[in-house]
Amino acid sequence: MPRELKFFQAVHEALDLCLDRYPSVYVMGLGVPDPKGVFGTTLGLQEKYGAERVLDMPTAENGMTGIAIGSALVGMRPVMTHQRVDFALLAMEQIVNQAAKWHYMFGGRARVPLVIRLIIGRGWGQGTQHSQSLQSWFAHVPGLKVVMPATPADAKGLLISSIEDDNPVLFFEHRWLHNIAGPVPPGLARTPLGKARVARPGRDLTIVSVSHMTLEALRAAEALARDGVSAEVVDVRTLRPLDRATILASVRKTGRLIVADTGWPTAGFSAELLALVAESAFADLKAAPQRVAQADCPMPSTPALANACYPRHYDIAALARRMLGRRPIRRPGRPPAAAPLDIPDDSFRGPF
């Protein structure tokens, strides 16, 4: 029986191992050493490694990102943490103009080994400024790497690889993944950047998913299997650099593609994947590629409206059935009392 950890514990273990192994690593972010320890991911690390290497920071996202960059230029390996992606928008200047460009614009003579952990909120009334899923913004920029783990093993393995990487890496953690459990190998078990994962093999249809949508895609694939549809699920894991080969190989095999993204559809990462298959696998397509994404509007707070914004497994399954010419199924209109739609599972009691 392999050892199981929750996703947040896997993140914690990766940080712990890297702090222990590499004296150049330090962990910084608002609330990192506080009693909640960024959803448990940093608990106890300051006690273990000292306040110089595990530290809180002023509420100055842009300046502190510049400071992290400067320290990286002289040999440190900072891991920054933002409790929401939305807060990191204040740091876009340092991330996009400075960190992303530094290696290229100085002719390869300098490196910025920097990890920025960004947490995507969802549900429980998070509203417009605590729920955005802006991975596409970062994936647009040459020089940045963008990582979105979906399992505890990848949370650990991808975080270790990100910390060991010599480039700025945006590491997205979905709030609804923090409490899921799964097998996690011990030690410095790395997941390489730039490699997608076939999470479930199939023949009839490919669902390419990121982050939490991989869980939804797997649930959809299970439901489809009960109807005799064999769906393959490809977990992207790294949006940039993108593993085009694995995605294209799957789509060439099945001839059908659904992209399941946590972000908005317009000019988003899902659009990039549709463009990829249109450009490179057009002749293999048996149906027009489709996507499931967040509703194209700012996120309202009330569950009465927000529940319709977040895509779920039945949205993916319904779309798949339509693509395959199957009888449509109805989306649950209202959450059944036993399965509310604004929380990931029963362990989540709010508020964020």
Partner 1 sequence: MTTPEDRKALWRQMLRIRLVEERIAELYKNQEMRCPVHLCIGQEAPAVGVCSRLRREDYVLSTHRSHAHYLAKGGDLKAMLAELYGRADGCCRGKGGSMHLLDLAVGFLGATPIVGSTIAIAVGAAFGSVLRGDKRVTVAFFGDAACEEGVFYESLNFALLKSLPVVFVCENNLYSVYSGLSVRQPGGRKIFQLARGCGVESAQSDGNDVLAVAELAARAVAKARSGGGPSFLEFKTYRWREHCGPAYDNDLGYRTQREFQDWRRRCPVAALREHLRADGALDDAEAARAEREMLSEIDAAVRSARKSPPPAPDQLLKGIYAGATATRKRIGGRKRCRAN
Q: Which residues bind partner 1 (CB under 8 A)?
A: 21-24, 26, 49-50, 52-53, 57-58, 60, 62-77, 93-94, 97-98, 102-111, 113, 142-143, 145, 164-167, 241
3-state secondary structure labels for all residues of the chain = CCCEEEHHHHHHHHHHHHHHHCCCEEEEECCCCCCCHHHHCCCCHHHHHCCCCEECCCCCHHHHHHHHHHHHHCCCEEEEEECCHHHHHHHHHHHHHHHHHHHHHCCCCCCCCEEEEEEECCCCCCCCCCCCCCHHHHHCCCCCEEECCCCHHHHHHHHHHHHHCCCEEEEEEEHHHCCCEEECCCCCCCCCCCCCEEEECCCCEEEEECCHHHHHHHHHHHHHHHCCCCEEEEECCEEECCCHHHHHHHHHHHCCEEEECCCCCCCCHHHHHHHHHHHHCHHHCCCCCEEECCCCCCCCCCHHHHCCCCCCHHHHHHHHHHHCCCCCCCCCCCCCCCCCCCCCCCCCCCCC
Task: Name the minimum Å distance from CB 164 to partner 1.
Answer: 4
Task: Name the minimum Å distance from CB 107 to partner 1.
Answer: 3
Our answer to whether residue 61 is catalytic in this structure is: yes
Our answer to whether residue 164 is catalytic in this structure is: no
Q: For partner 1, give the closer residue by CB, 50 or 201.
A: 50
Task: Name the minimum Å distance from CB 152 to partner 1.
Answer: 23
Task: Name the minimum Å distance from CB 326 to partner 1.
Answer: 43
Q: For partner 1, give the closer residue by CB, 22 or 245.
A: 22
Q: For partner 1, give the closer residue by CB, 93 or 222.
A: 93
Catalytic residue among 130, 174, 178, 313: 130
Q: For partner 1, give the closer residue by CB, 93 or 345.
A: 93
Catalytic residue among 61, 164, 173, 216: 61
Task: Name the minimum Å distance from CB 39 to partner 1.
Answer: 25
Q: For partner 1, give the closer residue by CB, 95 or 207.
A: 95
Active site residues: 61, 130
